[in-house]
Chains A and B, each alone.
Chain A
Amino acid sequence: MGPHIVSAFDSDLQLLNRKIAEMGGLAEEQLSSALKAIAQRDVELAAEVVKGDKKLDEMEMEIEEAAIRTLALRQPVATDLRDTVAALKVASTLERIGDLSKSIARVADILSQHRPLLVVAPVVRMGRQVLGQLSEVLDAYTSRDTPLAVSVWRRDVEVDVTYNSLFREILTYMMEDPRTIGVCSQLMFVAKNLERIGDHSTFIAEMTYYIVEGEQLGDDRPKGDPIDADIAVDMPD
């Protein structure tokens, strides 16, 4: 697509996209550090993640201001309008991903006060899977690559499957050694937060599709089975 006749309009849109790319990079880094913090029981790194979340909050506000200014001054239509609205929504999605990463990092404190647990490894593995999804979807968003976005969107079902099996694994761990119930329930929150980040990544995929195609991606995303209600039945007497 050609440049705008008013070149300042192009600069405005480019600025928005650059800021989103920057914020996306930071959100990836936050998640990656949070995972490292729980894997290595690194309290200092966890504290850095908690501190770093403020930067994401600031960036969200900057993008919001820039987008609102563009809406007010340029009255964008068609693809420009979709670009601007998507930037607003993606910025707030990235901010939420940041919040979830912060919660994950905080669990490192609890883990560090406990003897090392084998079950942390599969949680971190799930985290890497989610991080991969997030990186890919951010690439898709930046390059407006619809096929890549749709592929990430479809693969979220794999994250759901991992989450369900991880849930069972942690539960088994708790049943085997009730002393780990406290710390394991924290790990369950971590798994849940990772699953939420996966969902947010699919939202960014949907926004990518919306910008390029001008239509919503639809509601028929493949989803994993809900966690079975029969789990409680397996509990020993």
Chain B
Amino acid sequence: MTVAEDLGGDAPAETGAVARIPSASARTAPELKMTARSCDVFYGDNHAIKNVDVDILDNTVTAFIGPSGCGKSTFLRCLNRMNDTIDICRVTGELTLDGEDIYDAKVDPVQLRARVGMVFQKPNPFPKSIYDNVAYGPRIHGLVRNKADLDDVVEQSLRRASLWGEVSDRLDQPGTGLSGGQQQRLCIARAIATAPEVLLMDEPCSALDPIATARVEELIHELRENYSIVIVTHSMQQAARVSQKTAFFHLGHLVEYDDTTKIFTNPHDKRTQDYITGRIG
């Protein structure tokens, strides 16, 4: 018996955030989800991102690779306006989500971040219970109407993050008490609880052991059914394993963007070739 039936009321389709996730069967040719055109980013006088054009496809994992300081994380943070919090940061050019300019004055960055979720390099659970970590987003965005709906969202998000089995009997324990890999999956559960359309992941596995990494990669693979995922990673093998599209950044430029298979078998640009094969450029 589902929670909704238990309450004797709501039809399942209206149970809130999770039900809004589009079905996987919609996957034919991936559609354009986000675009960047002539995007430049400045930190004060420092020109960090130079004239980047890129398309982020729906139901696709896009990997951003490149050496440290090449601007891949900076660019990732433009996609949900995380750079707004940095005073000296200035973003120009056009960035759209479903064709709408995300830097338009009418757009509320908080609402935008509910649609474009983010997972960071270091697991950063709130100093709250496991339950509250996941429930936080749906609560502040008013995505659920009652406790039963919220329970449902929390359970489903934890299940999708393949953490439910490990924490279902201790949801009231602090999230910070979990292992590193579990914390990162908790953060992923928290990010998907608001049913975002795009999930940005900034080196989500760099602090994890190989088994936890494999779990997260498997999760990324499953999440692709419903989301558009952008992942920044220093592990080229990881980019090759999880993504369908790869973008190579170098010194603030987007050097090459192509199918992942193409990038890793026969890249077009010599700089890409040197980077992925581990050569001195």
Stretch at the interface among A41-49, A70-78, A223-231: A70-78
Interface of A, secondary structure class, is loop
Residues on B with C-beta less than 8 A from A76 are 277
Q: For the complex, is A6 an interface residue (Cβ under 8 Å from B)?
A: yes
Q: Does A1 contact B (CB under 8 A)?
A: yes
**In the complex, how many residue pairs between chain A and chain B have their CB atoms under 8 Å apart?**
42
**B25 contacts the other chain (CB 8 A):** no
Q: Which residues of A contact B236 (CB under 8 A)?
A: 77
CB distance from B111 to the nearest CB of A (A): 40
Total A residues in contact with B, Cβ cutoff 8 Å:
17
A215: chain B residues at CB < 8 Å are 266
With known contacts A78-B264, A214-B265, A214-B266, A5–B276 Cβ distance under 8 A: no
Question: Bound complex: CA of A1 vs CA of B279, how far in Å?
Answer: 8
For chain B, which range describes its interface: under 10, 10 to 19, 20 to 34, or 35 or more residues?
A: 10 to 19
Name the contact of A4 in the complex, choosing from B237, B264, B267, B278 (C-beta under 8 A): B278
The proximity string for A residues 74-107 relative to B, scoring 1 for CB distances below 8 Å and 0 otherwise, is: 0111111110000000000000000000000000
Instruction: Report if A77-B265 is in contact (Cβ < 8 Å); known contacts: A1-B273, A2-B274.
Output: yes
Q: A79 to B237, alpha carbons, bound, how many Å?
A: 16
Complex Cα spacing A81 to B273, Å: 12
Q: Which residues of A contact B (CB under 8 A)?
A: 1-6, 9, 75-82, 214-215
B residues contacting A by CB (< 8 A) are 236-237, 240, 264-267, 273-274, 276-281
In addition to A2-B280, A5-B278, A5-B279, 19 A-B residue pairs with Cβ atoms within 8 Å of each other are A1-B273, A1-B279, A2-B274, A2-B279, A4-B277, A4-B280, A5-B280, A76-B277, A77-B236, A77-B240, A77-B264, A77-B276, A78-B265, A78-B266, A78-B273, A78-B276, A80-B277, A81-B265, A82-B265
